[in-house]
Structure 1
């Protein structure tokens, strides 16, 4: 099992780099060429979401991207350290309109990711969240 870990400051300009690294590692791992655009787009959405959450909550910690190549699948985990509301939490103080807009953007980003990736798992909690996406690795025929 091969793992690549990328950490970057929560700045929008670093999302492109994360997308390029993810596509390169996915290609090397054996993800089908036809799926690489989906990998790039999904990673871009997940990283943009994490950057937005870090900026909204003024979190200085870096965004984490972990790329894992296993025997039959390639997975990417994008993690943030922003506190996520738990259903039982009371509404946060502040401008309710801005918070609703932020939640709508968050839901739209997750919907885009779900449309691009068949195998997605989103976990959130008070200490951060993680989006785990995975794709099958195609076994290339041996060249003689």
Structure 2
């Protein structure tokens, strides 16, 4: 299992770099060429969401991105350190900004539309979006 880790300051201008690195590593891992645009868009959306959460909550810690190459699959994890309320928590409705919540939900909807295998975890210590794509087996050398 090969893993590439990125950490970047929560600034919008760094999202593009994360997208480019993710696409390059996905290509090397064997993700189908036709899916690479979806990888770029999903990573961009997840990283933009994390950047927004960090900036809104005044968090100076970096956004974390892990690019994980496993047998037959490639995963990308984007982590933030923003506190997330549990779904349906009445305190979240009082404390949260409705426009901010809608934007967050829209970002997750976009990611879910781009990636078939998505897992979202969120808690008081931060959140994690894990996106997974299948990879093609490496070509067999011809003798």
Does residue 69 (structure 1) correspond to residue 66 (structure 2)? The answer is no
TM-score, structure 1 normalization: 0.93
Identify unmatched segments of 5+ residues in structure 2. Answer: none
Matched, 1:34 2:34: yes
Q: List alignment gaps of at least 5 residues for structure 1.
A: none
Q: Which residue of 2 aligns with 1:105?
A: 103
Q: What's the Cα RMSD here?
A: 1.4
In the TM superposition, what whole-angstrom CA distance separates every residue of 1:47-95 from its partner, at most 9, and x where no partner exists? Answer: 000000000000000000000000110000000000011233524766x
1:134 to 132, 135, 141: 132
| TM-score, length basis structure 2 | 0.94
Distance 1:89 1:127 in 2: 19
Displacement of 1:139 = 1.8
Task: Report the number of matched residues.
Answer: 141
Instruction: Indicate the SS of the match to 1:90.
Output: helix
- Partner residue, 1:123: 121
Q: Which residue of 1 aligns with 2:80?
A: 80
Shift of 1:141: 3.1
State the alpha-carbon separation in 1 of the partners of residues 65 and 76 from structure 2: 7
Q: Secondary structure at the match of 1:65?
A: strand
